[in-house]
């Protein structure tokens, strides 16, 4: 998604992906969101679902065969189970599509902003000055995830972030930019912006930290 996009369905946003206008002098470096297919495969574990459904069908057919069932009965089992499993996969695919469609990640020279949520839209504002580290998970096709480590005093509930959180990290959840199309360039922009923020803070230790979109360091915005 281009940073110059102006048309969007979230009319409460002052700017695409942002609940309020950025402070003067702050600039958007990148905007984007998850890829539908990667969300379906990595977040909703589509491959595992297909294998699980196939295993159920095979076990059911093997049981019928061991009991001496005929071809017609076994065909009836297939006709009964396959549409149910196909519909289940379609529902998970629809959820993955909605996650990809409603998510906007924004990187500025001061913060990472995550607009997430299908039914209830939430916006999390993560000032770069409060990020401890970032881990990159790169895939063979150039895509991947960027997981952000927060300070011990900053914590966002895992359920509020899911699926935009590092999997299986519960005690100190890590916000994550999931299923990016090209993770390398975004990681480089984030690293450079973070280093610039840290250098500026070092040179002006008595100055206020980089401003947030509201008074709280990790702001959570709910639409009216």
Q: Provide mean pLDDT across the span 142-157.
A: 92
Among the residue ranges 94-98, 117-121, 200-204, the one predicted with the least confidence is 200-204
> Tens of pLDDT along 31-61?
999 999 999 999 999 999 999 998 988 888 8
Among the residue ranges 73-87, 133-147, 198-212, the one predicted with the least confidence is 198-212
Residue 16 included in any domain: no
Helix H or strand E segment including 91: helix 71-102
Residue 20 included in any domain: no
Q: Cβ(116)–Cβ(124) under 8 Å?
A: yes
pLDDT beyond 60 at 4: no
82 and 140 together in one domain: no
- pLDDT at site 3: 36
Q: Return the bridge partners of 87, or none.
A: none
- pLDDT at site 113: 96
Residue 65 included in any domain: yes
Mean pLDDT over all residues of the chain? 84
Considering only residues 95 and 65, tell me which one the structure prediction assigns the higher pLDDT. 95
Q: What is the value of pTM for the model shown?
A: 0.79
> Tens of pLDDT along 178-193?
999 999 999 999 999 9
- Count CB atoms within 10 A of the CB of residue 16: 19
CA distance 166 to 173: 7
Output the six-digit token pair for 165. Answer: 């959180």
CA dihedral 155, 159, 160, 164 (to 10 degrees): 90
The number of domains in the chain is 2
Output the six-digit token pair for 192. Answer: 């450079």
Output the six-digit token pair for 186. Answer: 């975004």
Peptide bond into 175 cis (omega under 30): no
Residue 8 included in any domain: no
């Amino acid at each position: 998604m281009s940073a110059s996009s102006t048309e969007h369905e979230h009319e409460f946003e002052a700017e695409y992906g942002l609940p309020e206008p950025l402070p003067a002098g702050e600039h958007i470096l990148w905007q984007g969101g998850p890829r539908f297919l990667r969300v379906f495969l990595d977040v909703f574990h589509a491959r595992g679902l297909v294998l699980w459904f196939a295993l159920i069908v095979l076990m059911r057919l093997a049981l019928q065969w061991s009991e001496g069932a005929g071809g017609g009965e076994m065909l009836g089992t297939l006709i009964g189970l396959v549409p149910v499993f196909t519909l289940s996969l379609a529902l998970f695919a629809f959820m993955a599509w909605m996650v990809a469609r409603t998510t906007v990640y924004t990187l500025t020279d001061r913060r990472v902003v995550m607009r997430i949520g299908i039914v209830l839209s939430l916006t999390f504002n993560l000032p770069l000055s409060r990020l401890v580290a970032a881990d990159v998970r790169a895939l063979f096709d150039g895509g991947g995830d960027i997981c952000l480590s927060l300070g011990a005093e900053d914590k966002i509930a895992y359920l509020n972030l899911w699926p935009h959180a590092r999997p299986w990290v519960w005690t100190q959840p890590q916000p994550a930019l999931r299923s990016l199309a090209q993770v390398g360039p975004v990681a480089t922009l984030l690293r450079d912006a973070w280093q610039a923020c840290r250098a500026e803070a070092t040179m002006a230790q008595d100055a206020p930290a980089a401003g947030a979109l509201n008074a709280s360091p990790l702001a959570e915005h709910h639409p009216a």
